[in-house]
């Protein structure tokens, strides 16, 4: 089954360290990574930086990350202003088919704050009880918050369709 797992760290660099551990887990075939992104929010920055994590097992195309696009619309939209932010509920409604509900979107948005970071992983074939110790180890300070959603079989397709629809709706008509 496909899952969306969000590992939120209390430091802006926690997600980068976790991405290295994720790569090791994927190489050892403990899980299959379909897409993964990091979000790092420096304490004084106005918005976070989204980075795409490349893994040998990742099945996402080189044209960009589906997770990155969706997080940009869900997380960065409120930062961008009221006009863009007004569509966040609409984004969540479009994602419902994938297994991501409004509560998950709201929790994700509330967890991402200046001074924190997160690693978002779209994966399958993983066992959370095997992955969790690796993702939580070597923390020097702070806590790890875990958000986890089991997704429908067609979740990757539903996410791509939602992102395309969102982008299409956001693009002004050409004369």
| pLDDT tens by residue, 51-92 | 888 655 554 443 456 777 777 766 665 544 444 444 555 656
Mean pLDDT score of the chain? 75
List Cβ neighbours of 60 (8 Å cut-off, separation of 6 or more). Answer: 34, 35, 66
| pLDDT tens by residue, 6-37 | 999 999 999 998 999 899 898 888 998 888 99
Question: Which pLDDT does position 39 carry in this prediction?
Answer: 92
Distance CA 128, CA 71 (A): 22
Pick the more confident residue, 99 or 146: 146
* Residues in the chain, overall count: 175
Indicate if the pLDDT at residue 127 is higher than 70.
yes
Give the bridge partners for 50, in sequence order: 39
Q: What are the φ/ψ torsions at residue 12 (nearest 5 degrees)?
A: -70, -10
| pLDDT tens by residue, 164-174 | 766 666 666 66
Q: Are 64 and 52 in contact (CB under 8 A)?
A: yes
Kindly state the percentage of the chain with pLDDT values over 70: 65
Distance CA 12, CA 52 (A): 16
Indicate if the pLDDT at residue 114 is higher than 80.
yes
Q: What are the φ/ψ torsions at residue 134 (nearest 5 degrees)?
A: -70, -40
What number is the average pLDDT over the span 96-122?
83
Question: Which pLDDT does position 60 carry in this prediction?
Answer: 45
């Amino acid at each position: 089954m496909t899952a969306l797992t969000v590992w939120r760290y209390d430091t802006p660099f926690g997600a980068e360290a976790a991405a290295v551990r994720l790569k090791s887990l994927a190489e050892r075939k403990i899980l299959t990574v379909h897409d993964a992104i990091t979000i790092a929010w420096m304490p004084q920055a106005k918005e976070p930086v989204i980075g795409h994590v490349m893994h040998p097992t990742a099945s996402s195309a080189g044209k960009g990350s589906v997770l990155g696009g969706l997080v940009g619309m869900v997380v960065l939209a409120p930062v961008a202003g009221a006009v863009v932010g007004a569509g966040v509920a609409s984004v969540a409604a479009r994602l419902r088919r994938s297994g991501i509900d409004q509560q998950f979107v709201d929790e994700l948005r509330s967890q991402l704050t200046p001074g924190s970071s997160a690693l978002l992983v779209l994966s399958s074939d993983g066992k959370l009880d095997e992955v969790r110790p690796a993702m939580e180890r070597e923390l020097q300070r702070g806590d790890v918050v875990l958000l986890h959603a089991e997704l429908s079989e067609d979740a990757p397709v539903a996410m791509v369709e939602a992102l395309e629809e969102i982008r299409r709706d956001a693009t002004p008509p050409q004369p």
